[in-house]
Amino acid sequence: MDREHALMIVKCYKEAILPLLANAKVYLYGSCSRNEARKDSDIDVAVVIPKLNGDWLDTTSSLWLATLNIDTSIEPVLIEECKPSPLYDDIMRNGIAV
């Protein structure tokens, strides 16, 4: 899958999750963002929020459920800006904001 196709899918995904997390920023990262994806590659998506005001498991489950209506190759990860990590740093450097 090329980067443009992945971005189109992630834009649809973002629209689907914004009612759940209105202040979320969504990023494409990984092989699709680098345009190195193969046919069997997943679509790595970071959902970045300032701070989670609710249950992490419920929120993460909702993010995964939203993939069922868009594309099951989407692999969402929930990240809080208030809890930076090496993954967060990499996404901020190399990810593509959607």
Determine the pLDDT at residue 1: 86
Predicted confidence at residue 84, as pLDDT, reads 84
Q: Would you state the structure tokens that stand for residue 97, as one six-digit string?
A: 């904001």
Question: What pLDDT, on the 0 to 100 scale, is given for residue 24?
Answer: 97
Q: Which of 17, 23, 76 is nearest to 53 (CA)?
A: 23
Which domains, ranges and CATH numbers included, belong to the chain?
A: 3-97 (3.30.460.10)
Low-confidence residues in the chain, pLDDT < 50: none
pTM here? 0.94
pLDDT score, position 86: 96
Residue type present at position 20: L
Q: Which segments of 1-98 does DSSP mark as H helices, in order?
A: 3-17, 56-70, 86-94
